[in-house]
A and B are shown apart, each in its own frame.
Chain A
Amino acid sequence: MSQYFDKQVLKAVWPICFGYIPLGVACGILGEKVGMDAFLMAMMSIFLFAGSGQFIALAMIGAGTAIIPIVITVGIVNLRHMLYGLILNQYISKESLLYRLFYAQEIVDETFAVNSIEFQKKDNDWNPKKAAGLNFLAHMSWTLATVSGVLLGSAVYIDTALVSYALIAMFIGLWSFHFKSAKLIGIGVLGGGLALLLSLWLDNMLNVVVATILAAIIGAVIDNGEGVERK
């Protein structure tokens, strides 16, 4: 056990757990508002394990959206985890298939950010076992925080409009992580404009899905074109 959970792991994981408390509790409160109980919330946090993904799924469940559009929209939002997997591969590709199948489920923004930094550090004995320990503790604290949110939500009154606005603020925060170039910002604005335009013909959040796919294709085409010019 001490191979998975030592002082180094605890030191690396505590900021994640600390951040998950308010976010997870808010997510659980929203869940309670749309009809989730503690069991459903625990299932969602274990099997979906995605902060923004869970907020979106819950908001859509609350809005009465059908299952298929919810599943597709959240799948698109979580496509970014594929990038994380590609980067993590260099550190864990020698581990067993079972390890990698479990590791995959633990890929979220926070565990990716901390593990990749720890793996990169020189003179650091970070290894796949410690990464697994960190992932487990982060996933546990997220699950506990969301379940607590459900229990808290049923005990005290909290304004639904305010909780929904926390979601919009979180989207803006998550978007700002990509403010690294004018092109990245521009493609985001393009995605937004396209989503509004496409809502004339598509509903049930499919406008968001199609706008995302199109805007990202335009970004990739522009990059590709520039790459060809340089040659």
Chain B
Amino acid sequence: MSYSDILICIFGLFCSSYISRVLPLAVLGRRPMPTFLSLWLKYVPTAVFGALIFVSIFGDAHSGFKFSWSNIEFLAAIPVLIVAAKTQSLAYSIIVGLAGYWLLNNFY
């Protein structure tokens, strides 16, 4: 991506992110949200992180799925998942992830 493409991309990112930030504060005010929309919004974060995690670990059909025991991204994710579920801490998750990935990459 060229320098000017990155600047355009940043502007696009600002627009697509600012919409969800500003809608409730500037437009909705104290009016209640439609029920189905608020139910849907409740499930968006868990769905998006689930999707991102699966795709970053197992790849995609285009470049070939990585379903195997030699998949280091998958193996290193197991201790991270356990620690994250117990501590719900970003810092611990990242430390365990980096340590596990480094160890598997060098010794497995």
Instruction: A85 to B21: give the CA distance in the assembly, Å.
Output: 6
Give chain A residues whose Cβ lies under 8 Å from the Cβ of B98: 162, 165-166, 169
A82 touches which of B24, B48, B77, B105 (Cβ 8 Å): B24
B40 to chain A, nearest CB (A): 4
Task: Tell me the dominant secondary structure on chain B's binding face.
Answer: helix
Q: Is the CB of B51 within 8 A of A220?
A: no
Q: Return chain A residues, CB-CB under 8 Å to B39.
A: 219-220, 223-224
Proximity bits, A69-110, B CB within 8 Å = 1, else 0: 011101111111111011011101100010011011101000
A67 and B9 within 8 A (CB): yes
User: How many residues on chain A are close to B (CB under 8 Å)?
Assistant: 92
Q: Which of A75, A169, A185 contacts B97 (CB 8 A)?
A: A169
Are B53 and A89 in contact, with the CB atoms below 8 A?
no
Q: Contact between B25 and A40 (Cβ–Cβ < 8 Å)?
A: no
Query: Could you say which of A184, A185, A195 has the most chain B C-beta atoms within 10 Å of its C-beta?
Result: A195
Say whether B11 faces chain A, with CB atoms less than 8 Å apart.
yes
Residues of chain B within 8 A (CB-CB) of A177 are 45, 88
Q: Are B21 and A107 in contact (CB under 8 A)?
A: yes
Asked whether B26 lies within 8 Å of A83 as measured between CB atoms, the reply is no
Given the known A-B contacts A23-B90, A168-B56, A199-B55, are A77 and B48 also in contact in the complex, defined by CB atoms under 8 Å?
yes
Contact A173 B56 (CB under 8 A): no
Asked if A14 is at the interface of the complex by the 8 Å CB criterion, the answer is no
Interface residues of B in 17-63 (CB under 8 A from A): 17-26, 28-30, 33, 35-36, 38-58, 60-62
A48 near B84 with CB under 8 A, answer: no
Minimum CB distance partner of A193 in chain B = B54
Q: Would A199 and B53 count as touching, CB distance under 8 A?
A: no
A1-9, A114-122, A141-149, A209-217 - the one binding chain B: A209-217
Q: Select from chain A the residue with minimum beta-carbon distance to B36.
A: A220
In the assembled complex, B16 has its CB within 8 A of some CB on chain A: yes
Contacts known (A173-B90, A196-B54); A207 close to B7, Cβ less than 8 A:
no
Q: Is A174 an interface residue (CB 8 A)?
A: yes
CB distance from B18 to the nearest CB of A (A): 7
B47 touches A70 (CB 8 A): no
Which of A79, A166, A174 lies in contact with B49, CB distance below 8 A?
A: A174
In whole angstroms, what is the CA distance A165 to B98 when docked? 7
CB distance from B104 to the nearest CB of A (A): 10
A196 touching B65, Cβ below 8 Å: yes
- Please report the C-alpha to C-alpha distance between residue A214 and residue B98 in the assembled complex, in whole angstroms: 32
Residues on B with beta carbons closer than 8 Å to the beta carbon of A169: 77, 80, 93-94, 96-98
- 6 A-B pairs within 8 Å (CB atoms) are namely A53-B17, A93-B30, A173-B90, A191-B51, A199-B61, A220-B42
Please list the 6 inter-chain residue pairs (A to B) with the smallest Cβ-Cβ separation, ordered nearest first.
A169-B97, A75-B16, A192-B54, A188-B50, A85-B24, A173-B93
